[in-house]
Amino acid sequence: MRITPLRGTGVAWLKCPACRLKCRPTAVAPDGNCPRCGKARMLKLSFGGRVTVAAPDASRD
Would the pLDDT of 56 be above 80? no
Q: What is the pLDDT of residue 19?
A: 92
Greater model confidence, 29 or 53: 29
Are the C-beta atoms of residues 28 and 15 closer than 8 Å to each other? no
The pTM score is 0.57
Angle at 32 between CA 27 and CA 34, to 5 degrees: 60
φ, ψ (nearest 5 deg) of residue 15: -130, 135
